[in-house]
Structure 1
Amino acid sequence: MGIDTMPSVADDSAAERRREQRGWYFYDWACAVYSTSVLTVFLGPYLTAVAKSAADAHGYVHPLGIPVRAGSFFAYCVSASVILAIVLMPLVGAAADRGGRKKGLLALCAYVGAAATAGMFFLDGNRYLLGGLLLIVANAAMAVSMVVYNSYLPQIALPEERDAVSSRGWAFGYGAGSMMLIADLILYTQHGSFGLSEATAVRICLAAAGVWWGAFTVIPLRRLRDRRTAHTATGPAVHGWRQLVATFRDMRGTPLTLSFLAAYLIYNDGIQTVISQASVYGSDELGLSQSTLIVAVLLVQVLAVGGALGMGRLARRYGAKRTILGSLVAWTATLGAGYFLPAGAPVWFFVLAACIGMVLGGSQALSRSLFSHLVPAGKEAEYFSAYELSDRGMSWLGPLLFGLAYQLTGSYRDSIISLVVFFAIGFVLLARVPVRQAVLDAGNPLPERI
């Protein structure tokens, strides 16, 4: 299909919008299993175990000759993947806006990430360096693909539809994550019945997420349309950091958009760190089994579906900003409680997981839809590259701090409580953003509730 010439979402019929929206939801469905099965559940404890098997007598591995405590290797790899994504995201965002052909870029990023994830099947023995490399590639590809994916939202949904559409996308993702985790739980707990070792079952679960990611990406690629906008250009894209600097300079014309990004950068760093490090905290600090962690994350996924949809309804009544602020209060209280969780007590870990599930999907979905109102028309991918930089690209500080705390103290408990500061500062910064004025400054129609 060719590129449509400067169509507006208001020009599309309701049926056309619904068709694209349903296709759009399926990329959340496709890639969410990576976040749940790989990043949140299996890879952290498994890669840590592989690194420990390769460690010296003092518990250190030496990638590139650098002494790294084996228990910190996973967190450092997450940070490295984010740094790689920082380099790539501005380039991809600019290319998507300039060329008007987003689907090809979405496909490239998705299938690179899916292939790296499927390759984790070969992570065995003491191949911690292979695991770290695959993690860095997959995590960076995931982040970059989300730049393109999120930039479709203003083009497929009217302003008053975006909270609901974004929330449904997150709900689709958590639904897919739940289904995959159920299959993972069966395979992992019954691995002996299938004639598999525990490690082989984990490697199959990791690879299956990559296969799922690649297979379901076909649906959004078939349903989403490429669009040429008034800002589409034919010249070469500015590369890397130069493009990012140019984007933020452009944002000086909409300083309130920049203020929202600053707030989101802070509180989302805390969210992303919880997602990536929770399983390590549960297994190494609390002494919980892998099956307990799978059940806990499954509980998060199931409740996050209802949480995302429920917070979407709250946003229609109270506005997205107030609802997000309420979720940040809940995050702060939940992590504070997490510090005091007793070791070897799965029931309390399940309670904590339930609290996280109720706010996780909604806080992410509403942040995405709120930002979509603050983007000038025709600059969606460019601005969403900056958003994704805040979403995943700048989420290196939390994991790095988490890893450093363990490196220095040998305990994850102090690390978890340090994340509270991200939510507290993010709350203060977001509360100070006048979002209604920010929407008007971006030249967009003002929804009834924001």
Structure 2
Amino acid sequence: MDKNQLTKLEKYWILYDIGNSAFVLLVSTIIPIYFKNIASANGISLSDSTAYYGYAVSLSTLIVAVIGPVLGTIADTKGYKKPLFTFSMMVGVIGCAALALPSSWIFFLAVFVVAKVGFASSLIFYDAMLSDVTTDDRMDNLSSLGYAWGYLGSCVPFIASLILVLFAEPIGLSTAAATAIAFLLNAVWWLVVTLPLLKNYKQIYYIEPVRSPIKSSFQRFGNIFKELRENKTVFYFLLAFFFYIDGVYTIIEMATSYGKDVGIDDSSLLLALLLTQIVAFPFSILFGKLTKKYRTTDLISISIVGYIGIAAFALQLDKTWEFWFLAVLVAVFQGAIQALSRSHFARIIPKNKSSEYFGIYDIFGKGASFLGTMLMGITTQLADNSKVGVAVIGGMLVLGFMIFHFKCRNVETKYSESVS
């Protein structure tokens, strides 16, 4: 196999990143702005609407954290991973389209939670597919390419959505109608680019089916915690991941709400986050290439430090150009820290239990997102100042770096040692 050429299946796997990233971009840009405008029209303050949006994000992550591991253990059974992935993806797609319907801010948040649960659940099975679609020595690069092309590809429906929203009146649409069309457009995009993966994916690593796969999944789920106590490599990585990814996910989820709170106008917010997608593309690819020369754990450490700097800079942010600069900084490290964490984890876990372990991975990731957005919501409401919430997130990043640096940084996979 030519190491510089992607297989068809690897390309189809990347396509799903391109599809679901369209929804991720909506969550980071149009959805919070649209929600805050609805909430404001109903007399809700900026700080309260930021808190309510944070609570909705927290609820969706909590739901996935609870159901994800059980679904993950079921998915490892032969013949189950693809159907569960398809179902979760369709819940996300239909939920995204349904965002076009509600006019009530409470109803809108309810639909948003459903869409986000579907999206996040699909990622458990999608990430676990990494072992089935490629080899250990290609994981870092493929995972990075997934994020990279996801950032760039998602710009296609986003730019179309942006044109609709920003130029709604000249083309004879209300802002609400233009936004509704944007939700539908992104849902269709997500579905269409996923079809090649659905048609061609086959589960290679699996556990043989038993008479009661659901009962068996609960038993395996209980055993996995015993395995984690014995496998310190995986345990300490997950612990560090919990704290540092908290900062990453919370910044992604809450950046637009925070920018609006400090006075950045809607157009600048949307364009700055579009810039993030474009800049993230080459840097995600770059970090994937750097894994050929440097240890994956060292590159993850650098990315965590970068996010600590981002949180510190955000504390004094109050100008539009500063938000643009912050968007570029986020772009440098966002794809790298997520892609390399995913591929590093995929290499240190048993392949025939990939969905099982990625279910646990999701508990730590979603648990961190739940804690981060919840803490930001609570501290923002109590202090009536979003910057207090950002300070708390910065503290979580520092704690994650310390655990990773002292417990994980010098732990590498056999493959990494062989190429060092």
The two structures share one fold, judged by TM-score above 0.5? yes
Structure 1 residue 107 corresponds to structure 2 residue 86: yes
- Residue in 1 aligned with 2:16? 27
Match of 2:174 among 197, 219, 223: 197
Relative to structure 2, which stretch is displaced further, 296-305 or 184-193?
Answer: 184-193
Amino acid at match of 2:282: G
Measure how far apart 1:338 and its partner are. Answer: 1.1
Match of 1:404 among 374, 378, 384: 378
Match of 1:98 among 77, 98, 107: 77
Q: Specify every segment of 5 or more residues in structure 2 that has no aligned partner in the other structure, as ranges.
A: none
Amino acid at match of 2:35: L
Q: Is the 8 A contact 1:263 1:429 kept in 2?
A: yes
TM-score by length of 1: 0.87
Q: Is the 8 A contact 1:87 1:240 kept in 2?
A: no
SS in structure 2 at match of 1:317: coil
Amino acid at match of 2:18: W
Q: Is the 8 A contact 2:96 2:183 kept in 1?
A: yes
Deviations, residues 230-287 of structure 1 (Å, cap 9, x unaligned): 565453224998764432222223221011011111111111100110000111x222
Structure 1 residue 375 corresponds to structure 2 residue 334: no
Q: Is the 8 A contact 1:260 1:430 kept in 2?
A: yes
Measure how far apart 1:353 and its partner are. Answer: 0.3
Relative to structure 2, which stretch is displaced further, 112-121 or 153-162?
Answer: 153-162
- Residue in 2 aligned with 1:322? 298
Relative to structure 2, which stretch is displaced further, 356-365 or 188-197?
Answer: 188-197
Inter-partner Cα distance in structure 2 for 1:239 and 1:407 = 44
Q: Percent identity, aligned pairs only?
A: 25
Shift of the 372–115 alpha-carbon distance from structure 1 to 2, 3 Å rule, reads: same
Amino acid at match of 2:174: S
Give me the CA root mean square deviation.
2.5
Inter-partner Cα distance in structure 2 for 1:240 and 1:293 = 44
Inter-partner Cα distance in structure 1 for 2:95 and 2:216 = 25
Q: Specify every segment of 5 or more residues in structure 1 that has no aligned partner in the other structure, as ranges.
A: 1-11, 61-67
Structure 1 residue 165 corresponds to structure 2 residue 135: no
- Residue in 2 aligned with 1:3? none
SS in structure 2 at match of 1:337: helix
Q: Is the 8 A contact 1:17 1:157 kept in 2?
A: no
Amino acid at match of 1:109: S
Inter-partner Cα distance in structure 2 for 1:335 and 1:81 = 24
Inter-partner Cα distance in structure 1 for 2:209 and 2:138 = 25
Measure how far apart 1:447 and its partner are. Answer: 5.3
Say how many residue pairs are matched: 420
Inter-partner Cα distance in structure 2 for 1:432 and 1:416 = 25
Inter-partner Cα distance in structure 2 for 1:227 and 1:254 = 24
Structure 1 residue 154 corresponds to structure 2 residue 153: no
Amino acid at match of 1:321: T
Q: Is the 8 A contact 1:29 1:176 kept in 2?
A: yes
Shift of the 17–197 alpha-carbon distance from structure 1 to 2, 3 Å rule, reads: closer
- Residue in 2 aligned with 1:352? 326
Matches within 5 A, 1:271-290: 271-283=248-260, 285-290=261-266
Inter-partner Cα distance in structure 2 for 1:420 and 1:179 = 32
- Residue in 2 aligned with 1:213? 190
Inter-partner Cα distance in structure 2 for 1:144 and 1:410 = 33
Deviations, residues 90-131 of structure 1 (Å, cap 9, x unaligned): 12101110234321111100001110110000122xx12211
Q: Is the 8 A contact 1:325 1:430 kept in 2?
A: yes
Inter-partner Cα distance in structure 1 for 2:129 and 2:409 = 21
Deviations, residues 53-81 of structure 1 (Å, cap 9, x unaligned): 3457xx59xxxxxxx94442111000010
Amino acid at match of 1:448: S
Measure how far apart 1:390 and its partner are. Answer: 2.1
SS in structure 1 at match of 2:147: helix
Structure 1 residue 36 corresponds to structure 2 residue 32: no
Inter-partner Cα distance in structure 2 for 1:269 and 1:367 = 13
